[in-house]
Structure 1
Amino acid sequence: MDLKELQTFRAVAELGSVTKASGRLHIAQPALSRQIKLLEAELRNSLFFRDGRGMRLTPAGQMLFERTAELQRDVDRLRDDLRSFTGAPTGHVHLGLVPTVSAQVSGTLARRVLSELPGVSLVLSESYTGHLVDWLHRGQLDLAVLYGPGDSLLMPTESFGNEELVAITASGGRLANVEEVELTALLGEPLALPSASHGVRRIISDAAERVNAPMNVVIEADSFRILLEIAAQGLGITVLPISAVRSEVKAGALEQARIIHPSLHREVVMAWPGGGTPSIAATAVSAILREEVAKIFTQA
C-alpha cells in the first residue's frame, strides 16, 4: 500500500465515483480502477460497494478512510511546507470561526489573505465552540477562533482577551434607555438564548447558579443572526458580546444594556490541533487573523 494508492482510494471515497475521481486526479478511469482493485487484493478486503448509485464504502473501506485521514493531512501539510520553505506561503488553510467573530472579521480576513497570501487557499467554516473544538480534535481544521477558557480545550491556544457580554433588546423595547441591568433582574425577563451546549449559554447558566436565580428562557436559537432578529422583533432579550452588535446599536435597530452584579465576560482564543506544528501557510494566516480579531477589542 503506497501513498498513490491511498490518494486514489480517498478520492473515490470522497466523490463516490470513479469518473469524478479520474477527473480530479487526471488519471484514466481504467488505470484508476486497476489501482483500487490492486489495493483491495493487497488488503484482502472489498473497499467499495459498486452499484448504480456509484461507489460506496464497505465497513472495511470506512475503516481505511477514517484511519488514513490524519496521514493524508500530514502528507498534504508537508508538501505545502516544502513548497513554501524558500518562497511565499502555499497551501490550503481551513479556519473555523464562532458566528459573532465571523460576522466581524471574515470579509476583511478573506480580502487580506487573497491580497497578501495569493498562494494560500482559504476555507472558512462558521459554527459554535463545541463543534469547532470537535473539528480541531479530529484534525479537520488548521485554526479556529472560539470561546475559552483556553486551558479547558486540551490543545494549544492563544488568548485574545476577554470581552463583555451585554443584554440586547429591540429599540424602544423592554430595556429601552436602560444603561445597566442587574443580572437577577435580567434573568426574569423573557430571554432568547442559544441552547445549553453553547458557550454564551453556559456563561449565563453558571452565573444564574451563582446568584441562585431562575432563567426565563422563552426561545432557544443556535444562530447568531436569528437571535438578533428575535431581539429586534421584541420577542425576547438576548445576551451577546458587545462588539457583535456595535453596528446595529449605532444604527438604532437595537439597544444594549450592561449587565452588572455580576458582569459577564467571555474569553476569545485562537486554537490549533494538538500534537503538531501549524503549517507555514496556517502560521501566515494566523498572523493576519491575530490583527483582525485584535480590532474587535480596540473598537469595543
Structure 2
Amino acid sequence: MSLKALQLFLIVAQAASLRQAAQRLNMTPTALRRQIDSLEYYFGSELIDRNAGGIRLTEAGQLLLGQAARILNDIAVTRTQIDDLKQLKRGTVRIQAGGAIVAELLVPTICTVHERYPNLRFHVFESRASGLVEALTDGGIDLVVSLFTPETAQSFVSHSIQLRHSVIVSTDHALACRPHVTIRELACHALAIPDESFGVRRELNRAARACGITLDPAFVTGSLVMQKEVAMRGMAALVLPPECCRREIQDGLLCAIPIQPANAISARLDLCSLPQRRKSFAGQALFDALAQQMHIGFTTGALERVNER
C-alpha cells in the first residue's frame, strides 16, 4: 500500500467529485483514479462510489477514512522517533490551546524552545477545552494547554498551575481606581465575556447566582482580540487572568483589578498529553519547557493594580 495513495484518499474523501479533487491536487483524474484503484486492490473492496451527483464513500471507504489520518500520523511520529535516534533534533509538535492563553502564556515558551532547537516545527491550533479528549486520542495533537479542563480529560493532565482571574479594564474606567471588585459591582458595568460554552462564563454565572443576580453582558464573544479592543476603548470590563493581557497592562492601556476574595474566580491551567504515547524529541522538548514554566509559575499578582482604599 502506498502512503501517497492514502494521503490522496483523504483529499478525495473531502471533495465533491474526483475531478474536483484532481484539480486541487494538480493531477489528472485518470492518475488520481489509479491511486484510488491501488487502495481498493490492496483492501479488496470498493472505497468510492461514483454517480451522476459526484462521489460518496462506501461503507469500507468510511471505515478507512476513520483510520487513515491516524495511520499517517503514526507513520510521521515513527519517522520523527527514527530521527531522534540519529540525534537530528528535528521534528514537529502539534499543540492545541485555548485562544486566551496562546499569545501570552504559550508563545514565549515556544519561542524559547525554537531558539534552542531551530529545526523544530510547531503547529498550534486554537480550540476550546471541550474537544481536548478527541484531539489527543485521535492522534492528531501531541500536547494540549487548557483552562477549565473537563472532568472527562483529567487522566490526561500532567502538570497544573492555578491562574487567578481579575477584572480587566482601561486605565480610565470607573473600576480602575477600586482596590478590588465584587461580582455585584461588576454586574453594574458593561461586560465583554464569552458565552456559556466557555468555562469562565460558567464560573461567572455561578458566582452571580450566589449573589442573587444575573449577568447581562453588553458584548458576548469568545474572541480575545475583540474583548481587549472593547476594553481598551473603555466600553467594557473583562474577566481574565492578567497574564492574558500582559502587554496591554505593561503598556498602560489596560489594568487588572483583583476580584474580592469572596467572589474569587480562578482556573487551573493544565498541560495535557496522552500518557501511553511516547513523545517525539520535539514533543518532549516543548513538554519539558512548559512543565518547567508551570513549576516556576506566572506573575499574575505583579500585573494587578494596587489601589488604596
Question: Into which bin does the TM-score normalised by the smaller protein fall?
Answer: 0.7 to 0.9
In the alignment, does 2:173 pair up with 1:173? yes
Residue 223 of structure 1: how far off its partner (Å) = 0.5
1:2-81 alignment to 2 at 5 Å?
5-10=5-10, 12-13=12-13, 17-18=21-22, 33-41=33-41, 42-47=43-48, 49=50, 58-60=57-59, 61-81=61-81
Partner of 1:146: 146
Distance across 1 between alignment mates of 2:40 and 2:85: 37
Q: 1:84 to 1:212 in 2, by over 3 A?
A: same
Q: 1:285 to 1:6 in 2, by over 3 A?
A: same
> SS of 1:17's equivalent?
helix
Residue 171 of structure 1: how far off its partner (Å) = 2.4
Per mean C-alpha deviation after superposition, the further-off stretch among 41-50 and 195-204 is 41-50
> SS of 2:259's equivalent?
strand
> SS of 1:84's equivalent?
helix
CA contact (8 A) 2:159 2:291 kept: no
Q: 1:90 to 1:204 in 2, by over 3 A?
A: same
- Gaps in structure 1 of 5+ consecutive residues: none
Q: Percent identity?
A: 24
CA contact (8 A) 2:161 2:294 kept: no
By percentage of residues, which structure has more strand?
1
Instruction: State the AA in 2 paired with 1:247.
Output: R
Distance across 2 between alignment mates of 1:206 and 1:230: 24
CA contact (8 A) 2:129 2:149 kept: no
Q: 1:295 to 1:251 in 2, by over 3 A?
A: farther
TM-score by length of 2: 0.80
**What whole-Å deviation, never above 9, does each CA across 1:193-214 have from its counterpart, x for those lacking one?**
1111012112212222333332
CA contact (8 A) 2:259 2:265 kept: yes
CA contact (8 A) 2:129 2:150 kept: no
Per mean C-alpha deviation after superposition, the further-off stretch among 260-269 and 13-22 is 13-22
Distance across 2 between alignment mates of 1:256 and 1:10: 47
Residue 48 of structure 1: how far off its partner (Å) = 6.2
Per mean C-alpha deviation after superposition, the further-off stretch among 147-156 and 72-81 is 147-156
Per mean C-alpha deviation after superposition, the further-off stretch among 73-82 and 1-10 is 1-10
Partner of 1:127: 127
Q: How many residues align?
A: 294
Partner of 1:297: 298
- Gaps in structure 2 of 5+ consecutive residues: 303-309
Distance across 2 between alignment mates of 1:206 and 1:291: 33
Distance across 2 between alignment mates of 1:220 and 1:134: 27
> SS of 1:180's equivalent?
coil
Give me the CA root mean square deviation. Answer: 3.3
Partner of 1:156: 156
CA contact (8 A) 1:141 1:273 kept: no
> SS of 1:236's equivalent?
coil
**What whole-Å deviation, never above 9, does each CA across 1:169-226 have from its counterpart, x for those lacking one?**
2222231311201223223432211111012112212222333332232220111111
Residue 279 of structure 1: how far off its partner (Å) = 2.7
Q: 1:251 to 1:51 in 2, by over 3 A?
A: farther
Q: 1:167 to 1:57 in 2, by over 3 A?
A: same
Per mean C-alpha deviation after superposition, the further-off stretch among 102-111 and 138-147 is 102-111
Distance across 1 between alignment mates of 2:83 and 2:12: 26
**What whole-Å deviation, never above 9, does each CA across 1:81-134 have from its counterpart, x for those lacking one?**
122124133322111222232111454344334332234221112233234554
1:192-271 alignment to 2 at 5 Å?
192-260=192-260, 261-271=262-272
Instruction: State the AA in 1 paired with 2:103.
Output: A
TM-score by length of 1: 0.82
CA contact (8 A) 1:89 1:284 kept: no
